[in-house]
Amino acid sequence: MSEAKPKALVLDFGGVVTRTLFETHALTEQALGLKPGTLGWCGPFDPASDALWRAMQADEISERDYWKTRTREVGRLVGEDWQDMATFVQRARGAEPQAVIRPEAERAIRTAHEAGVKLAILSNELDLFYGKSFRERLPLLSLFEAIIDATYTKVLKPDRHAYAMVGEALRLPSEACVFVDDQKRNVDGAIAAGMLAVHFDVARPAQSYAEALGHFGLTLS
């Protein structure tokens, strides 16, 4: 692996650039007209209170199964039959996209951009879950040179080809990229593809972004 300073910061979107749905229950309740405190499942922020999350962590169910169940539960709370997570995400977050962006993400992205670091997003379901209009209403994304979204490519992380698409789009070798994701399987996939990688801790976003920027000799302002 090259010892030269990396040239690109590659971010997952949901959970890394945006706050997780666990962190934005109050916004979701407000958007859906639910009583405050209605949504009590907290995933990685309180595993003891979320048996379904614990089942996912034990590989008893998949991540998509977890969110399929939560989607149907929340749909029933508003008297509707929701069959896909896109409905959940877009109904919960469509009104104010900027409100769910992590402040640490905005600072890190702008710091990297100002230092001349190339920026890219590698997501499995950006437009699938959020809808194209969501990202079109986020000025921050104009700083990104490439957005690789499996909604269209159909190549999901941790498939090696997903990471290769980023390198091709940025015209950089894999080892010149620092990849950040909150799912360990995707981090492992990036490492296997030759990238530097940071396993993003949703409970410590500032620490994770500081680690990512540290690869470029930068600090989180």
- Looking at 97, 121, 144, which one is the last position of a domain? 97
Range of the domain at 65: 25-97
Q: Which pLDDT belongs to residue 132?
A: 86
Q: Do 61 and 107 fall within a single domain?
A: no
Residue 2 lies in a domain: no
Number of compact structural domains in the chain = 2
Q: Are 102 and 18 in contact (CB under 8 A)?
A: yes
b/e 150-180 (16+ beta carbons within 10 angstroms → b): bbeeeeebbbeebbebbbebbebbbbbbbbb
Q: Is 95 helix (H, G, I), strand (E, B) or coil?
A: coil
- Other CB atoms within a 10 A radius of the CB of residue 95 amount to 11
Pick the closest to residue 31 from 99, 86, 83, 81 (CA basis): 99
45 part of a folded domain: yes
Half-sphere exposure of 48 (CA within 13 A, CB side): 0
Query: Is 80 exceeded by the pLDDT of residue 94?
Result: no
Say how far residue 193 (Cα) sits from the centre of its chain. Answer: 19
pLDDT tens, residue by residue, 145-202: 999 999 999 999 999 999 999 999 999 999 999 999 999 989 999 999 999 999 999 9
Average pLDDT over residues 79-98: 88
Residue 215 amino acid letter: H
Domain shared by 86 and 111, yes or no: no
Domain annotation covers residue 112: yes
Whether pLDDT at 2 is above 60: no
CATH number at residue 178: 3.40.50.1000
Q: Is residue 47 part of a domain?
A: yes
Classify residue 219: in a domain, yes or no.
no
> Which of 97, 124, 149 is where one domain is finished?
97
79 plus 127 within the same structural domain: no
Q: How far apart are CA 121 and CA 128, in angstroms?
A: 15
Given the structure tokens 């469509």, which residue do they identify? 94
Q: Are residues 32 and 15 in the same domain?
A: no
Q: Which residue among 63, 78, 97 closes a domain?
A: 97
Which stretches does DSSP call E strand in 70-221? 118-123, 146-149, 177-181, 196-199
pLDDT grade, residue 78 (50/70/90)? Answer: very high
Extract the tokens encoding 182. Answer: 């909150």
Inter-CA distances, 52 with 48, 86, 94, 199, Å: 10, 20, 26, 22
One domain, residues 40 and 83: yes
Are residues 85 and 114 both part of a single domain?
no
